[in-house]
Structure 1
């Protein structure tokens, strides 16, 4: 899931709204305060963020994804096992969060029934960004299962981290390792089932059916004057 660079004015609004989010949440009153502090024309602000604070909450999450990807590109992971690379990416994503209360408030926002699709899309986007950064080349059903599994892992990591008061987040680090171990164990069992000759009458046709599923074609962000495309 690719996102275009955040508009500089929207980036300023994100920084301006964060202190207000701690008290008011991702709410209209916080958005209006941020707009006033930045000195942005309200009509322009509405154009940038049609849903107000909600759109800033989305942009804040995506900014964290961008920071994580940038950190991954700078990291030397040549000696890491693949499971450790995934764990490292999750740790970098958590470290990219500069306001814990903003995430806490965002978690509450995107847990609302009418906001759940947005929250699910954001978590999926984080998982997608991690797999892309780690060089995933799968184009079949595995493209979906990898992101679905990692979405579940990242979602649980965030919830655990929100309640973690251990020194330097050591408890969250250990939790990440446990969750990755669970995933690797699941993948091992899945491979054993697939290779079991007694299950071939079932797994064979199923594999052929799933083989017809292809990953979506990713369209690069368009950032040209007069052109707009929803990349979220």
Structure 2
């Protein structure tokens, strides 16, 4: 019940976000437009419009995962699967201005941790949907790298006025190419004399394991 009411509030809030952002005014208007009891609305969203903004982002992640499940990605290279996931995440966004207002919200110091958590969650949703099976420190590095790519792509997308967002998709491809080049260089370094020399001092990193649950950040030691 609470999820459906929150979805109603988010839908009711979107027409107001373009004018008032994810603000108290937007939340109050959404409560009135949705016909939800204000006490119930506050119980569902203790932080008001901030919780609606979070719900809006999480709904986007859910739509992306569902969309990926319906696509045949087997014929694509893995880097292209990642690119497709990020692109789909943005293509399915129902309201670009709501995302723009969200970036403004999460730029505030007291909401920056919330924004960072959401970006990490999107990266995790993508890797999980693509079948990532890493159990060690690579679980973290993959998500950290993709978080940076996703955040940069969103900012570019918000200012992109090209036909069909073509410039954004080209930007995304370049960023993923950069990541692939880094991974290649990392592999070469590990095989180099210096890399082998540092292998023992860095051996402790091999003990890092992925979290047991999605709330187990940042991880555990084996």
Deviation at 1:203, TM superposition (A): 2.7
Return structure 1 stretches of 4+ with deviation > 4 angstroms.
none
* Alpha-carbon contact 1:6-1:59 (below 8 Å) kept: no
What's the CA shift string for 1:63-104, capped at 9, x where partnerless? 000000000000111110000000000000001211011000
Looking at structure 2, the residues matched to 219 and 89 of structure 1 have their Cα atoms a distance apart, in angstroms, of 20
Counterpart check, 1:121 vs 2:135 = no
Could you tell me which runs of 5 or more consecutive residues in structure 1 were left unpaired when the two chains were aligned. 221-232
* Number of equivalent positions: 215
CA distance in 2 between counterparts of 1:69 and 1:93 reads: 9
Q: Distance in 1 between matches of 2:110 and 2:184?
A: 37
3-state SS of 2:209 partner:
coil
Counterpart of 1:229 in structure 2 is none
Shift of 1:200: 1.3
Relative contact order higher in (CA < 8 Å, ≥ 6 apart): 1
Take 1:149 and 1:203, find their aligned partners in 2: how far apart are those partners? 22
1:49·1:56 contact (CA, 8 Å) conserved in 2?
yes
Tell me the secondary structure at the aligned position of residue 114 of structure 2: helix
- CA distance 1:171–1:106, shift in 2 (3 Å): same
**Structure 2 residue aligned with 1:181:** 177
Q: Structure 2 length as normaliser, TM-score? A: 0.94
Separation of aligned partners in 1, 2:210 and 2:15: 40
- Local SS of the residue matching 1:216: coil
SS at match of 1:75: coil
Contact 1:35 1:41 in 2 (8 A): yes
Cα root mean square deviation, aligned = 1.3
- How high is the TM-score relative to the length of structure 1? 0.90
Structure 1 position 205, deviation (Å): 2.6
